């Protein structure tokens, strides 16, 4: 399948299992990893978490046989930018790779809704008092094991960028954001690129995830 991709995309290595994918990624530091959702030795979610922990700027795009929402939400939370169906044509996969590398993979709105609800549910559980009625001394409510006391959205984000970021977390496309904010699509793309850079992530999907981790709570569509 990889041999049939556009010649402008250079395939630097292929892995037979999740452990090898991690080792190759750490050694080669690729721009993008196309990760099969079913991997032996180390599963795809574990491999994705490990790659994103060490290489936060590397994009991970999942290949899956179905669009089952629960599994996709877990993949996004693990660090994936999005997904492409295994049944897709080589042309479609190439387009998906290019979009992911450009930071333009759009979060499916149902996945976005579930993602927001999951993070909010996790936060509410972590903020509940312990059985003694208080949090253990020195503890801080956290999300996903990465959120630390005092973290917030970067102060370098402008008011307009925060507006765009909120719409990203709701699964809006660039065209929809442009319509909502009465600006051009090219302006939205510039905002998204700056947001990705300021949040230190690889793509718009992980910008949305990071924003939710840092406390941004947009209303869920639908």
Query: Of the residues 73, 101, 129, which one is the last residue of a structural domain?
Result: 101
Residue 29 has pLDDT above 90, yes or no: yes
How much of the chain, in percent, has pLDDT values that exceed 70? 82
* Backbone CA torsion sign across 145, 149, 155, 156: negative
Q: Can you give the pLDDT at residue 3? A: 56
- 86 and 160: one domain? no
pTM of the model: 0.76
Are 6 and 94 members of one domain?
yes
Q: What is the pLDDT, as a whole number, of residue 126?
A: 67
Asked if 209 and 115 count as a contact pair (C-beta separation under 8 A), the reply is: yes
Q: What is the pLDDT of residues 164-191, one digit of tens each?
A: 999 998 888 899 999 999 999 999 999 9
The CA distance from 10 to 24, in Å, is 15
Q: Which tens digits make up the pLDDT trace of 103-132?
A: 887 777 788 788 777 877 776 676 655 444
| Res 139 pLDDT > 50 | no
| Stretch 29-54: mean pLDDT | 93
pLDDT tens digits, one per residue of 146-156: 444 447 889 99
CB 38 within 8 A of CB 46: no
Looking at 85, 101, 117, the residue that finishes a domain is: 101
* Domain assignment of residue 207, yes or no: yes
Instruction: Indicate whether 18 and 81 sit together in one domain.
Output: yes
Return the higher-pLDDT residue of 163 and 111. 163
Interatomic CA distance for residues 89 and 62, integer angstroms: 15
> Above 50 in pLDDT, residue 5?
yes
Q: Are residues 7 and 94 in the same domain?
A: yes
Structure tokens at 128: 């509940």
Cα angle 58-210-187, degrees, rounded to a multiple of 5: 80
Higher model confidence: residue 113 or residue 197?
197
For position 1, what pLDDT does the model report? 55
Evaluate whether residue 144 is within a structural domain: no
Q: Is residue 182 part of a domain?
A: yes
Task: Pick 118 or 85 by higher pLDDT.
Answer: 85
- The confidence score (pLDDT) of residue 23 equals 96
Within this chain, do residues 92 and 154 fall inside the same structural domain, yes or no?
no
Domain with residue 36: its CATH number is 3.40.50.2300
Which pLDDT does position 136 carry in this prediction?
A: 45
Q: Indicate the length of the chain as a whole number.
A: 222
Rounded percentage of the chain residues whose pLDDT exceeds 90: 44
Contacts 24+ apart (CB under 8 A), 81-87: 81/105, 81/202, 81/203, 81/204, 81/205, 81/206, 82/106, 82/107, 82/203, 82/205, 83/37, 84/34, 86/36
- The per-residue pLDDT for 20 is 94
Q: Is residue 139 part of a domain?
A: no
CATH number for the domain harbouring residue 173: 1.10.10.10
Residues 87-104 have a mean pLDDT of 87
Judged by average pLDDT, the poorest of 6-10, 46-50, 95-99 is: 6-10
The stretch 16-43 carries a mean pLDDT of 93
Number of domains in the chain: 2
Q: Domain of 83? A: 2-101
Q: Is residue 63 in some structural domain?
A: yes
Domain assignment present for 89: yes
Mean pLDDT across the chain? 83
Please, which contacts does 186-190 make with residues 24 or more away whose CB atoms are closer than 8 Å? 188/164, 189/104
Residue 3 has what DSSP assignment? G
Q: Are residues 23 and 85 in the same domain?
A: yes
Instruction: Note whether residue 73 is domain-resident.
Output: yes
């Amino acid at each position: 399948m990889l041999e049939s991709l556009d010649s402008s995309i250079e395939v630097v290595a292929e892995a037979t299992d999740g452990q090898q994918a991690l080792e190759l990624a750490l050694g080669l530091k690729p721009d993008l990893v196309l990760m099969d959702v079913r991997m032996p030795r180390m599963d795809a979610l574990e491999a994705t978490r490990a790659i994103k922990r060490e290489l936060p700027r590397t994009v991970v795009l999942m290949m899956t046989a179905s669009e089952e929402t629960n599994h996709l939400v877990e993949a996004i939370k693990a660090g994936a930018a999005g997904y492409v169906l295994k049944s897709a044509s080589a042309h479609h996969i190439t387009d998906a790779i290019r979009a992911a590398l450009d930071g333009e993979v759009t979060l499916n709105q149902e996945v976005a809704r579930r993602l927001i609800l999951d993070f909010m549910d996790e936060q509410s559980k972590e903020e509940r008092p312990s059985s003694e009625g208080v949090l253990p001394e020195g503890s801080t409510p956290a999300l996903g094991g990465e959120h630390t006391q005092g973290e917030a959205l970067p102060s370098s984000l402008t008011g307009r960028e925060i507006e765009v970021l909120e719409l990203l977390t709701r699964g809006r496309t660039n065209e929809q954001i442009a319509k909502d904010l009465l600006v051009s699509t090219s302006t939205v793309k510039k905002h998204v690129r700056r947001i990705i850079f300021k949040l230190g992530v690889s793509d718009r999907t992980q910008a949305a995830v990071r924003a939710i981790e840092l406390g941004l709570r947009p209303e869920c569509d639908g």
